[in-house]
Structure 1
C-alpha cells in the first residue's frame, strides 16, 4: 500500500512557463482544487484554486512560486501518510516525489478514498462495531481472542485517539447478524458505543462517497 501504487498521471502538473489560465483548465478538467508547480522535474510547490482565481489568467506561473506549499509524500510512503498530508493541509491532491525529490505524479483524494476502503476491507460484507474504552485497558490480543471464540473474523481494526483518555476502536468484521457478538462483548464488560450491520453500513458508506464526490465537483 505505497503511495506510488495509487499515483495518478504524472501529466497533471503545470510548469513555470504555463499561464494561470492553463492551470485553471487543468483544475477544471481533472476536478481538483490544487495543482503541482514544477521547474523541469523539480517540485516547486502546490498552488491552490483560490490563488489562481485571484490572479490574472495571462499571468505566468513562475510569478506564483512564492505562494506554493511544499507538501508532498515520497513514493515509498504508506498511503495513510498521504491521507494524513491531505487531511492536515486540506488538499484535494498530494504530489508524489522520487527519492531524488523529482516529481513522479500525484494522488487524487477520490483515488485515495477508494484505495483505503478496498485495502481495509470496508467494502466487504459484514458489520462494523465501535467500542469505547480507557486507553490503558485496550489489549488487541484479548479482543481478537474473544471474537475468535465466536467465530468472528476481523478485516481491519482502526483506533481513534480523539477523545483521550478514552479511545474508540472500530472493528470491521465478517458477521452479518451482530446480536450474538454484542452479548459476548457485554459479558466481557466492553462498551459497544455503536454498531452498523451490513445493509446499513453499505448505505452510509455510499452516502459518504457521494458526498465526497459532490464536494470535489464544486
Structure 2
C-alpha cells in the first residue's frame, strides 16, 4: 500500500515553459481541472483551470502563474493513508509523489487513493461496518475483538479517525465478516461501547455502492 504503487500514469506533468492553452487542452483531454508542474525533475506545484481562466491569457507561460499546493506531495514509500491525509490538508484532488532526492515520479488521484483505502478496509468483502465512539484511553482493539468474536464474528479490518463532533474522542470503524449486527451491537453496548452508526449488507450491487459512498462521507475523506 505504498504511494508509488498507485501513481496514475495517464496524468502528464506540465513544464514551467509550457503555455496556459496547452494546460487547458490536456485538462480537457483527460477530464481533470488541475495538473502537476515540474521544473528540472522537481515538483513545483499544481495549476488549475480556475487560475488560468482568471488570468485569461492562453499564451501565458506556466512559470508566470502563481501555482497552488507546492507542498502537496509525499515520498514514494509512504502509505496510501499519508496520500489521503496530505490531500485533505491541501484540499486537493491530486498528490504528487517524489523519491528521496525529491525527483517527481507522478501523481496519485483521490479516486485511486480512496479506491485503495476502500480495499484496505475490506469494504468489498461480505459483511457489515460498525462505527464506535470512545476516548482514546479506552481504546483496545484486543478487547473489542474479544467481544465481537464472542458473537462468532471476526474483525476484517479497523480504522481510527478523529470524531468531528467531539475533539476528545475518536471514531473506530470496524469491518466485520457478518452481515447481521443485532447481537453484536447489543453485546458491545452491554460492555459500555457507544455505537455511532452501522452499515449492514444489502442485497444489491447498488446498495453496496451506496453503503461505500455513505461510509466515505461519514469518514470525511
Aligned length: 209
**2:26 alignment partner in structure 1:** 26
**1:51 alignment partner in structure 2:** 51
8 Å Cα contact 2:74/2:82 also seen in 1 = yes
8 Å Cα contact 1:96/1:105 also seen in 2 = yes
Mapped to 2, the partners of 1:205 and 1:19 lie a distance apart of: 43
Question: Is residue 2:79 matched to residue 1:73?
Answer: no
TM-score norm. by structure 1 comes to 0.87
8 Å Cα contact 1:157/1:171 also seen in 2 = yes
8 Å Cα contact 1:10/1:104 also seen in 2 = no
**2:196 alignment partner in structure 1:** 193
**1:176 alignment partner in structure 2:** 179
Q: What is the RMSD computed on CA atoms of the aligned residues? A: 2.1
Q: Is the partner of 1:171 in helix, strand or coil?
A: strand
Mapped to 1, the partners of 2:86 and 2:200 lie a distance apart of: 31
Mapped to 2, the partners of 1:142 and 1:111 lie a distance apart of: 33
Unaligned runs of 5+ in 1: 212-218
Mapped to 1, the partners of 2:46 and 2:88 lie a distance apart of: 15
**1:40 alignment partner in structure 2:** 40
Deviation at 1:74, TM superposition (A): 1.0
Mapped to 1, the partners of 2:188 and 2:213 lie a distance apart of: 29
8 Å Cα contact 1:127/1:173 also seen in 2 = yes
Q: Which runs of 4+ in 1 moved over 6 A?
A: none
Q: Is the partner of 1:146 in helix, strand or coil?
A: helix
TM-score norm. by structure 2 comes to 0.86
8 Å Cα contact 2:199/2:211 also seen in 1 = no
**2:210 alignment partner in structure 1:** 204
8 Å Cα contact 1:125/1:176 also seen in 2 = yes
**1:99 alignment partner in structure 2:** 100
Question: Is residue 2:132 matched to residue 1:131?
Answer: yes
Mapped to 2, the partners of 1:141 and 1:206 lie a distance apart of: 26
The more displaced of 88-97 and 9-18 is: 9-18
**1:14 alignment partner in structure 2:** 14
Deviation at 1:191, TM superposition (A): 2.0
Q: Is the partner of 2:157 in helix, strand or coil?
A: strand
Deviation at 1:171, TM superposition (A): 0.9
Mapped to 2, the partners of 1:138 and 1:132 lie a distance apart of: 9
Mapped to 1, the partners of 2:96 and 2:192 lie a distance apart of: 45
- 207 and 42 in structure 1: CA distance in 2 versus 1, 3 angstrom threshold: closer
Deviation at 1:40, TM superposition (A): 3.1
